[in-house]
Amino acid sequence: MTDATGSEAGTAWRRIADELEAAIGRGDYQEGATLPSSLALAERYGVHRHTVRQAFRHLADRGLVTVSRGRGTQVTAPRFPYRIGRRVSMRTNFGAAGISVAGSMLGAEIVAGEAEACAALRLEEGAPLWQVEALSLAGGIPVSTGVHLLPVARFPEFDRVFVESGSSITAAFKACGIPDYVRLSTRLSARIASEREALLLKIEPGAAVMVSKAVDALPDLTPIHLIDGIFAGERMEMVVEPFGELPSPPAGESGA
């Protein structure tokens, strides 16, 4: 049961895809650059446009290009790897790559905790929680936005401390006497960005976002922090490596 890919058309799209991939690898087309149109490439290779589109689809399936209606076929910028391990900190993740992280608090209020949130934080329903909305930028580009829920009893002045800590959760926790914390749980799914999220993250309306529902805890596993976060799907890649970091093949070695 082997596919028939030895046909003329099969060979042609593959050759076009391979040549485009090599050109991207060489940097002939930089990140974000638009590839020649399917019409132009069809003329250059003497094939039907359908064959070029098949090559585009192959490259898109491999994440090398992004095909969008009206904008043509663009070279995908590599997604930033964001490690979800026993400790998760945005500044650690980006800092390791020498990328500066900045954050801002969009709003903070004290709410009566809903049943589900209070259960996750092991509190009585209705316990007062900080509900803090924040935006995070890495290298000046918005990468995530989200709502943080924290017990007011443990963090009586979280709004002030968070702002004074430069909107860093890790720094705010330290200022509140919590030198270390762990990531208990992360639940990831995908959906289309809301209009507000697209505006905040500066992504196209209708773009895909990763939805992250996470729980941070003290080192003794007492949950203290819930995060409902939204990550720009085109900019980030969550990495889960339960046996530790893998040696990754050197970048840019796949072409030519």
The yes or no reply on residue 3 touching its own copies (CB under 8 A) is yes
Which residue, among 85, 82, 81, has the nearest Cα to 184 in the 3D structure? 85
Q: Taking contact as CB under 8 A, which single stretch among the options 26-34, 39-47, 56-64, 164-172 is the one that binds its own copies?
A: 56-64
- Within 100-139, the residues that bind its own copies by CB under 8 A are 105, 107-110, 114-116, 119-120
Q: How far is the CB of 119 from its own copies (least distance, A)?
A: 4
Which residue, among 209, 215, 205, 216, has the nearest Cα to 230 in the 3D structure? 209
* Vertex 231: Cα angle to 85 and 215 (nearest 5): 45
Closer residue to its own copies (CB): 44 or 63:
63
Largest CA distance in the chain: 71
Q: How far is the CB of 184 from its own copies (least distance, A)?
A: 6
Sole residue written with tokens 């941070």? 216
Tell me the CB-side half-sphere exposure of residue 23, using CA atoms within 13 A: 16
What are the residues whose beta carbons fall under 8 Å from the beta carbon of 200, sequence distance 6 or more?
106, 135, 142, 145
The yes or no reply on residue 7 touching its own copies (CB under 8 A) is no
Q: How far apart are CA 94 and CA 100, in angstroms?
A: 7
What are the residues whose beta carbons fall under 8 Å from the beta carbon of 159, sequence distance 6 or more?
105, 108, 130, 132
Q: Which of 15, 36, 45, 81 binds its own copies (CB under 8 A)?
A: 81
x/- letters, 188..227, toward its own copies (CB under 8 A):
xxxxx-x-x---------xxxxxx---x-----x------
Q: Which of 91, 148, 183, 225 binds its own copies (CB under 8 A)?
A: 183
Q: Residue 29 is encoded by which pair of tokens?
A: 């087309």
Q: How far apart are CA 151 and CA 111, in angstroms?
A: 10
* Vertex 96: Cα angle to 30 and 209 (nearest 5): 60
Q: How far is the CB of 97 from its own copies (least distance, A)?
A: 15
Q: How far is the CB of 221 from its own copies (least distance, A)?
A: 6
Closer residue to its own copies (CB): 97 or 115:
115
Q: How far apart are CA 55 and CA 18, in angstroms?
A: 8
Q: How far is the CB of 208 from its own copies (least distance, A)?
A: 4
Q: Which of 102, 161, 163, 175 binds its own copies (CB under 8 A)?
A: 163
In the complex, the residues that contact its own copies under the rule CB under 8 A are 1-3, 5, 57, 60-63, 66-67, 79, 81, 84-86, 105, 107-110, 114-116, 119-120, 147, 159-160, 163, 182-192, 194, 196, 206-211, 215, 221, 228, 231, 233-234, 236-243, 246, 249, 253-254
